[in-house]
Amino acid sequence: MTTAPRLLLPSLALALLLSACATPQSRIERNPDSFQALTAEQQALVKAGKIAIGFSEAAVKLALGEPQRITKRTTGKGDKLVWRYVDRENSNADVAFTGYYGGGPGFAGYGSAFPYYNGFYGAGVQRIYTGPGPTIERDRIRVVFTAGKVSAIEEEVK
């Protein structure tokens, strides 16, 4: 394989990844009226990608983006919406070894543009992609709304 096609794939993957990522700042720029309606304290939290009790749905979207899942919780006290922000991991991306790594076939040696291959020649933790496997989903954050306002925030504690 020539150098040009080998470099094209990582460049395309990185461009695709960057275009899919939105930041609080880019969401603020697309929704300036929603941002201006917030208090100064709320604006500071949104800029930092954080939320607080009492935030509206619009404020949460500015800070965290669109939720990956929305569920409805029904209790004796009424209905609540739960927005779920989910992380997905491929369970087959395992740490294989540490120490000197001299590159090799495939994508190895391209650097951190690929999540399963980390680094050029030298020392470091290497991840070996063993093929498609089951995807593990876990809620990174759950936001509970009561009457359109954040009433609870659940975050994974490591």
pLDDT digits (tens, 9 = 90+) for 126-155: 555 555 667 778 889 999 999 999 999 999
pLDDT value, residue 158: 75
Record the pTM: 0.61
pLDDT value, residue 105: 44
Residue 14 contacts by C-beta under 8 Å, 6 or more apart in sequence?
113
Bin 56: left if φ > 0, else alpha if -120 < ψ < 50, else beta: beta
What DSSP element (H or E) covers 45? helix 40-47
Q: Report the alpha-carbon distance of residue 58 to residue 23 in Å, rounded.
A: 15
pLDDT digits (tens, 9 = 90+) for 80-114: 999 999 987 766 555 444 443 444 444 444 444 44
Spatial contact of 47 and 16, defined as CB atoms under 8 Å apart: no
Closest to 69 in 3D by CA, of 81, 79, 59 = 81
